[in-house]
Structure 1
Amino acid sequence: MAYRTIVVGTDGSPSSFRAVTAAGALAGATGATLLLACAYLPMRGRERSAAADALGELSYKVTGSTPADDALRAAREHAVAAGATEVELVAEEGEAVDVLVSLAERRRADLLVVGNRGLNSLAGRLLGSVPSSVSHRADCDVLIVHTTSGR
């Protein structure tokens, strides 16, 4: 089976960039379109006010989708360096699992790639991690990339 559309989630962390690199290499090798996805949640009014006070004119950097957009631009560099040629950036409001599964369904993705972060943590085992939840809910293949040391 050849992958035509690959979705990979990123939150801008170094471990998520390792998943992006793996997805970028796979997209480059198969000629697939790579959708880089980042979910974000809006700040509450009090948090937004505190950030605005602390950051002054730079407060736009923590409001709306700006942090997600910044993470996506950085992720694009990793994906392209790994070999991806057709890359789209998608920032969507919502919980990470919901956004990734929904995007994969809407775009008829063949593969959804996530890092293993959270799988080995107590919170991940008790509350459910993004990779675990995605693997149960996605209607396409799921690749969980080993991105953490597991310690």
Structure 2
Amino acid sequence: MGIATANKSTVKGQNMSDYKTIVVGTDGSKSSLLAVERAASIAAAFDATLVIGCAYYETAEDASKTLRQDSVQVLGDDPAQKNLAAAKEAAEAVGAKKVEAEVRSGSPVEALMSLVTDHRADLLIVGNRGINSLTGRLLGSVPADVARQSDCDVMIVHTVS
């Protein structure tokens, strides 16, 4: 799975070489770490800054308000920090040089949109978990929701069958 030389390619009128900041989320799952590794490979290829985010819920009551089954519900800041440490290590192992990691309180979609806005990201990368499930079709999924809401390019990578 190499990265094609895409410096002359364009996406939405933007040179792909213009990707300077890439955001990816993790919830600590194997699927999300595959998305992190793919994002890290792309960040390394384009010498971009990779921002890895992890959303967390402050209380079990907050977590129970979301009916999503496509994301692991991280409860509390400590597990989120551990997820980020593992993701950052995985990203650096793949070759990403400029890696930042942040936790955000709230749902995964809220956290990712906040990171994209705050960092003025050019590209958001998410895994495909939940996008083809019945629940995902009826209630929405993280990949589908961020694709609809994002002001930057969104890449949905195949992380689950």
TM-score above 0.5, yes or no: yes
Distance 1:81 1:127 in 2: 35
Counterpart for residue 88 of structure 1: 100
Q: Give the Cα separation in 1 of the matches to 2:58 and 2:134.
A: 27
Q: Structure 1 stretches of 5 or more lacking a match?
A: 46-61
> What is the aligned counterpart of 1:67 among 79, 93, 114?
79
**Partner of residue 118, structure 1:** 130
How far did residue 63 of structure 1 move? 6.2
What are the residue-to-residue correspondences of 1:49-60 with 2, within 5 Å? none
Q: Unpaired segments of 5 or more residues in structure 2?
A: 1-14, 62-73
- Measure the CA separation in 2 of the matches of 1:63 and 1:20: 20
Pair 1:24 & 2:40 matched: yes
The answer (yes or no) to whether the contact 2:126–2:143 under 8 Å persists in 1 is yes
Amino acid at match of 2:56: Y
User: Is the Cα–Cα contact under 8 Å of residues 57 and 75 in structure 2 kept in the other structure?
Assistant: no
Q: Which of 131, 135, 146 is the matching residue for 1:134?
A: 146
Equivalents in 2 of 1:44, 1:20: separation in Å? 26
TM-score, normalised to structure 2, is 0.79
Query: Is the Cα contact below 8 Å between 2:24 and 2:125 reproduced in 1?
Result: yes
Per the normalisation by structure 1, the TM-score is 0.85
1:43 aligns with 2:55: no
- Aligned CA RMSD, in angstroms, stands at 1.4
Deviation at 1:123, TM superposition (A): 0.7
Residues 34-67 of structure 1 show CA distances to partners (whole Å, capped at 9, x for unaligned) of 000000001248xxxxxxxxxxxxxxxx863001
Contact 2:51 2:101 in 1 (8 A): yes
Does residue 34 in structure 1 map to residue 70 in structure 2?
Answer: no
Instruction: Work out the CA distance in 2 between the residues paired with 1:121 and 1:64.
Output: 27
Count of aligned pairs? 133
The verdict on how the C-alpha distance between 1:136 and 1:67 changes in structure 2, with shifts beyond 3 A counting, is same
Partner secondary structure for residue 143 of structure 2 = helix
Higher helix share: 1
Dislocated runs of 4+, deviation >6 Å: none
